């Protein structure tokens, strides 16, 4: 046991060697804590039994789920009743399909379907576990190896859901205190990844490199190439451009002949041109391997069903065996853009080589909801006449930037000139009927 005199001597020595401002601050903090404890104990209002019963009787809790308009556009579901391909049955109508992201028409490829069925018989329907917990099968590793080889990168990591791919990749590398420069028109998955990163976000105007340069100059004043000049890490989301742009479908870097050394990470979905499910990231071993420990969608989601991983491998086989399919898709996209630019009541948006087009009403409506409802009406009429087009759906109250309602149209490599002309005539007739 410590002697009492010695204890007092120690306390005296501490006070003697401690600066006055530190003693004052500690005393203030001690008094503040005492005051808070006494205030909480004595500051509560005490109710009588009758007052408590009255408060309980008059209490009206907020609804568990807020009121939802039964006519909300997102509750307007169209029923698909057939296999999805160049043609599809929607609400009982056999339609030319201009709504699905089946750019290369691989959903109808018999060889891919047969490979997926073989995988189903071998592995079953699903993996029933995340990649780190008995969810990794040899077909997953084969797919990652093939993707890295196809994209000419060191390594690839596969996710089971396209949305979670880029939404997990961004916060895996960016944290509070980092600065991210982002195109103002990025999709909702990227927006969620930005939110999760808690980084400082600067949006530059859509596809406007001059505006990006302006923002970067505020960070550092030099005069060289953007990435080296500002010590940037460059992440590309190629969910639409992968399997679409470039001579061999490798995406935007191949299309613009950009050295892959300039790109740190490429993220893309396998739900568009590949006709499968999930997504992937490719890059250096150091960059990609980090996601296996920090990518939330990779660590905590059940792995991609093996049959869909095999379907993606078979799609890559088709990419390498028949590279002319990319030129065919680009020509179809260009032709559709050219013809659809002639609508009298609609204006087309998007790049001619992009398989995704947006059709906007020529007149901007004051109420976004009313404009969206009119587009839904146009879509329903087109479906009834055999053309499946769909209004683009957004969470308008959550999107980072204002988004104007539109009809979304997607090109398919299998479309013919007759198909495109027929679709143009029907959409033109419907818009004239409903917008006059």
The CA distances from residue 69 to 60, 73, 76, 374, in Å, are: 22, 9, 11, 17
Predicted confidence at residue 225, as pLDDT, reads: 53
Give the tens place of pLDDT for each residue, 321-343: 999 999 999 999 999 999 999 99
Cα(187)–Cα(170) distance, integer angstroms: 13
Q: What percent of the chain has pLDDT over 90?
A: 59
Q: Which residue has the tokens 């479906």?
A: 383
Taking the domains of the chain in order of start, what are their residue ranges? 77-106+323-435, 109-321
Give the tens place of pLDDT for each residue, 68-96: 777 776 677 899 999 999 999 999 999 99
Q: Give me the architecture of the 109-321 domain, per CATH.
A: 3-Layer(aba) Sandwich (3.40)
Cα(68)–Cα(66) distance, integer angstroms: 6
Rounded to 10 degrees, what is the CA torsion of 413, 417, 421, 424? 20
The CA distances from residue 325 to 110, 187, 270, in Å, are: 16, 27, 17
3-state secondary structure of 409: strand
Give the tens place of pLDDT for each residue, 384-404: 999 999 999 888 788 888 889
Cα(104)–Cα(272) distance, integer angstroms: 9
Cα(183)–Cα(202) distance, integer angstroms: 9
Contact at 8 Å (CB) between 112 and 311? yes
Cα(229)–Cα(61) distance, integer angstroms: 56
User: Residue 132 has what DSSP assignment?
Assistant: I
Average pLDDT, the chain: 89
Predicted confidence at residue 104, as pLDDT, reads: 96
Which range is least confidently modeled, 28-37, 140-149, 235-244? 28-37
Whether residue 224 has pLDDT greater than 50: no
pTM: 0.80
Select the more confidently predicted residue: 243 or 369.
243
Which range is least confidently modeled, 46-60, 169-183, 308-322? 46-60
Contact at 8 Å (CB) between 137 and 252? no
Predicted confidence at residue 364, as pLDDT, reads: 84
Produce one character per residue of 244-258: b if its CB has 16 or more CB atoms within 10 Å, e if not: bbbeebbbbbbbeee
Contact at 8 Å (CB) between 197 and 178? yes
Cα(27)–Cα(21) distance, integer angstroms: 10
Residue range 77-106+323-435 in CATH 3.90.1150.10: yes
Give the tens place of pLDDT for each residue, 108-146: 999 999 999 999 999 998 888 888 888 899 999 999 999
For the chain, the maximum distance between any two Cα atoms, rounded to a whole number of angstroms, is 103
Give the residue-averaged pLDDT of 242-267: 93
Q: Which residue has the tokens 């979304």?
A: 408
Give the tens place of pLDDT for each residue, 164-208: 999 999 999 888 888 899 999 899 999 999 999 999 899 999 989
Predicted confidence at residue 5, as pLDDT, reads: 67
Looking at the DSSP bridge assignments, the partners of residue 156 are 282
Cα(191)–Cα(273) distance, integer angstroms: 22
3-state secondary structure of 279: strand
Which range is least confidently modeled, 109-118, 141-150, 282-291, 408-417? 282-291
3-state secondary structure of 297: helix
Which range is least confidently modeled, 12-16, 180-184, 240-244, 292-296? 12-16
Predicted confidence at residue 176, as pLDDT, reads: 87
Residues 6+ apart with CB under 8 A from 322: none
Predicted confidence at residue 196, as pLDDT, reads: 92
């Amino acid at each position: 046991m410590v002697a009492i005199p010695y204890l007092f001597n120690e306390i005296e020595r501490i006070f003697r060697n401690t600066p006055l401002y530190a003693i004052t601050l500690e005393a203030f903090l001690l008094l503040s804590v005492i005051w808070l404890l006494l205030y909480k104990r004595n500051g509560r209002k005490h109710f009588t039994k009758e007052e408590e019963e009255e408060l309980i009787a008059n209490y009206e809790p907020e609804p568990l789920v807020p009121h939802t308009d039964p006519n909300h556009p997102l509750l307007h579901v169209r029923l698909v009743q057939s296999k999805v391909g160049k043609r599809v049955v929607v609400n009982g109508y056999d339609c030319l399909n201009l709504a699905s992201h089946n750019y290369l028409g691989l959903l109808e490829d018999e060889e891919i379907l047969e490979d997926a069925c073989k995988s189903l018989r071998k592995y079953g329907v699903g993996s029933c576990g995340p990649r780190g917990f008995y969810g990794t099968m040899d077909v997953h590793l084969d797919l990652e190896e093939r993707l890295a080889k196809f994209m000419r990168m060191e390594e690839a990591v596969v996710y089971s859901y396209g949305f979670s791919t880029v939404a997990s990749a961004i916060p895996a590398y960016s944290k509070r205190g980092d600065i991210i420069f982002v195109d103002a028109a990025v999709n909702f998955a990227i927006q969620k990844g930005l939110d999760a990163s808690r980084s400082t976000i600067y949006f530059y105007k859509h596809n406007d490199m001059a505006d990006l340069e302006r923002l970067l100059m505020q960070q550092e004043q030099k005069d060289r190439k953007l990435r080296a000049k500002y010590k940037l890490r460059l992440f590309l989301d190629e969910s639409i451009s992968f399997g679409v742009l470039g001579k061999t479908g490798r995406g935007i870097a191949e299309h613009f002949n950009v050295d892959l050394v300039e790109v740190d990470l490429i993220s893309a979905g396998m739900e568009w041109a590949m006709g499968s499910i999930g997504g992937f990231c490719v890059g250096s071993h150091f960059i990609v391997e980090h996601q296996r420990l920090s990518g939330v969608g990779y660590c905590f989601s059940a792995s991609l069903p093996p049959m869909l991983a095999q379907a993606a491998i078979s799609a890559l086989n088709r990419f390498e065996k028949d590279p002319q399919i990319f030129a065919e898709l680009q020509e179809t996209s260009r032709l559709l853009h050219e013809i659809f630019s002639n609508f009298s009541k609609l204006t087309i948006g998007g790049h001619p080589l992009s398989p995704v087009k947006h059709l906007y009403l020529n007149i901007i409506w004051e109420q976004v909801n009313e404009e969206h409802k009119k587009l839904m009406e146009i879509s329903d009429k087109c479906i009834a006449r055999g053309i499946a087009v769909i209004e683009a759906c957004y969470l308008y109250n959550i999107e980072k930037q204002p988004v104007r309602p539109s009809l979304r149209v997607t090109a398919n490599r299998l479309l013919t000139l007759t198909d495109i002309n027929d679709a143009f005539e029907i959409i033109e007739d419907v818009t004239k009927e409903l917008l006059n």
